[in-house]
């Protein structure tokens, strides 16, 4: 937990850094320095998607999956999809390559017209899938989970990827920690071609910060079915922040969250990505969630000052990992 004394110290340091940057910005004829310095110091690595030039994603570095527990939990994963045939093959491959024996995987397509249906038909009986009109992503996720029975649940968007060994790792953690309800982990950023462009190494879970900002990478999150039974399904009134809404409802119901010390999935960054569009809708939904969680509408200054210590901690985790001082 971050106490008030540490929070105040971090805020003072950030204020000092900001003042130094402002002084540098006033110096004439040095725009490249001030732009790069501001970006480097003030953009948290967890939200900075393009951290370096594209390079091949080294999947071999993750090694073989862990041995499964004696009673491997049943895992159900749903992929909502609409006109994402260009990325969907890689998403499906990343799930099937887990070679997890107790897996139910369903692609819930919204009636795509870009060749998605033909792609799914070629998969034969290796996956379950349905292609029918829906009312958006949240509705597709709910439709996908209909009729599925499992111990652990997750959804993976049609442009994201699971990393090798993720399901075995998650299954072992849940088997060894029956008191834990929701887990998530670190993420890797990839571009439209599947090349790595950055990584986000996260500090441990912090409940209060989560009321101000959603820092949990959705593609890395898994939860027990008892969570879904208690607070599900996905709220279809949300178009952008449905995952944060689900997370907050689970937190409000006192389910236990844990951040796992491992990279679990890849988040793909591309121009057609939903996260990069509909910003106004997203901002309104986030304001709605903050007001519900906090009981008031915080200003942007309130938000920034409250989450500053967590972001500073994440900055430290990021560079500790980059310097080889922290492994996952």
Could you tell me the CATH number of the domain that includes residue 135? 3.90.550.10
Q: Rounded to an integer, what distance in angstroms lies between the CA atom of residue 207 and that of residue 224? A: 19
CB 117 within 8 A of CB 184: no
Give domain status of residue 249, yes or no.
yes
CB 190 within 8 A of CB 260: no
Give domain status of residue 326, yes or no.
no
Q: How many folded domains does the chain comprise?
A: 1
* Maximum CA extent, the chain: 66
Instruction: Provide the pLDDT for residue 20.
Output: 56
By residue range, what is the domain housing residue 175?
A: 65-185+214-261+280-289
CA angle 255, 264, 154 (to 5 degrees): 50
Residue 3 has pLDDT above 70, yes or no: no
Q: How many residues does the chain have?
A: 328
Confidence of residue 242 (pLDDT cuts 50, 70, 90): very high
Instruction: Provide the pLDDT for residue 11.
Output: 55
Instruction: Provide the pLDDT for residue 31.
Output: 47
Give domain status of residue 234, yes or no.
yes
Percent of the chain with pLDDT over 70: 84
Mean pLDDT of 92-106: 97
Nearest to 275 by CA among 250, 239, 311: 239
Q: Rounded to an integer, what distance in angstroms lies between the CA atom of residue 7 and that of residue 178? A: 33
Residues in a beta bridge with 80: 108
Instruction: Provide the pLDDT for residue 326.
Output: 79
Give domain status of residue 241, yes or no.
yes
Confidence of residue 327 (pLDDT cuts 50, 70, 90): confident
Instruction: Provide the pLDDT for residue 307.
Output: 95
Q: Could you give the count of Cα atoms lying within 13 Å of 273 in the half-sphere of its Cβ?
A: 15
**Could you give the C-alpha distances from 161 to 145, 187, 188, 220, 224, in angstroms and in order?**
19, 10, 9, 9, 21
- 14-66: per-residue pLDDT in tens? 556 555 545 544 555 554 545 444 454 557 788 899 999 999 999 999 989 99
- 257-293: per-residue pLDDT in tens? 999 999 999 999 987 665 555 778 899 999 999 999 9
Give domain status of residue 174, yes or no.
yes
Give domain status of residue 81, yes or no.
yes
Confidence of residue 294 (pLDDT cuts 50, 70, 90): very high
CB atoms within 10 A of CB 212: 21
Give domain status of residue 161, yes or no.
yes
- 210-224: per-residue pLDDT in tens? 999 999 999 999 999
- 153-185: per-residue pLDDT in tens? 999 999 999 999 999 999 999 999 999 999 999
First to last CA, the chain: 20
Give domain status of residue 243, yes or no.
yes
Q: Rounded to an integer, what distance in angstroms lies between the CA atom of residue 136 and that of residue 160? A: 18
CB 160 within 8 A of CB 80: no
Instruction: Provide the pLDDT for residue 9.
Output: 58
| pTM assigned to the model | 0.87
Tell me 30's DSSP state: -
């Amino acid at each position: 937990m971050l106490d008030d004394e540490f929070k105040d110290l971090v805020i003072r340091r950030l204020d000092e850094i900001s003042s130094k940057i402002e002084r540098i910005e006033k110096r004439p004829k040095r725009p490249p320095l001030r732009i790069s310095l501001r970006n480097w110091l003030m953009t948290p690595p967890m939200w900075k998607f393009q951290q370096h030039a594209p390079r091949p994603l080294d999947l071999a570095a993750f090694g073989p999956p862990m041995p499964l527990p004696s009673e491997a939990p049943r895992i159900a994963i749903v992929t909502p999809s609409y006109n994402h045939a260009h990325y969907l093959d890689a998403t499906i491959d990343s799930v099937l390559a887990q070679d997890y024996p107790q897996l139910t995987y369903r692609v819930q397509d919204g009636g795509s017209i870009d060749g998605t249906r033909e792609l799914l038909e070629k998969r034969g009986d290796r996956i379950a899938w349905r292609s029918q009109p829906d009312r958006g992503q949240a509705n597709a996720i709910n439709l996908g989970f209909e009729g599925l029975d499992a111990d652990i649940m997750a959804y993976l968007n049609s442009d994201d990827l699971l990393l090798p060994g993720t399901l075995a790792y998650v299954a072992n953690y849940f088997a060894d920690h029956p008191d834990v309800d929701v887990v998530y982990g670190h993420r890797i950023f990839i571009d439209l071609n599947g090349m790595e462009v950055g990584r986000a190494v996260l500090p441990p879970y912090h409940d209060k910060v989560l009321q101000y900002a959603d820092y949990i990478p959705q593609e890395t999150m898994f939860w027990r079915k008892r969570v879904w039974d208690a607070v599900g399904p996905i709220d279809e009134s949300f178009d952008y922040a449905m995952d944060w809404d689900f997370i907050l409802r689970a937190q409000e119901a006192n389910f236990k969250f844990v951040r796992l010390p491992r990279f679990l999935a890849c988040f793909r960054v591309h121009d057609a990505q939903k996260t990069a569009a509909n910003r106004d809708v997203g901002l309104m939904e986030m304001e709605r969630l903050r007001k519900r969680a906090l009981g008031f509408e915080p200003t942007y200054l309130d938000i920034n000052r409250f989450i500053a210590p967590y972001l500073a901690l994440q900055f430290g985790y990021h560079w500790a990992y980059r310097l080889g001082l922290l492994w996952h």
